[in-house]
Amino acid sequence: MGRWSWSDRNMVEECLSIDIPWLSQQGYFCGFKSEIIQWKNGLGEMTSSVSIQVAVDSALL
């Protein structure tokens, strides 16, 4: 799928993302967890971050 050559908008494939398997591997679905997830460039400098808070109700499992 193409886009106009003059557009400077990001395509969805260029956006940062967090997926459910990664959250599960990091232990986000074992009760309550609140953290800031950071993305860094090749030099180790933070480029973006997001605050995330997950609360799992064990009665629903």
SS3 per-residue string spanning the chain: CCCCCCCCCCCHHHCCCCCHHHHHHCCCCCCEEEEEEEEECCCCCEEEEEEEEEECCHHHC
Query: What is the per-residue pLDDT for 60?
Result: 58
Q: Give the pLDDT band of residue 6 (cuts 50, 70, 90).
A: low
Full domain range(s) for residue 38:
16-56
The verdict on residue 42 lying in a domain is yes
CA distance 58 to 30: 9
The verdict on residue 10 lying in a domain is no
pLDDT for 61 beyond 60: no
**Per-residue pLDDT reduced to its tens digit, 20-57:** 999 999 999 888 999 999 999 999 999 999 999 999 88
The verdict on residue 39 lying in a domain is yes
Query: What is the per-residue pLDDT for 8?
Result: 77
The verdict on residue 61 lying in a domain is no
The verdict on residue 6 lying in a domain is no
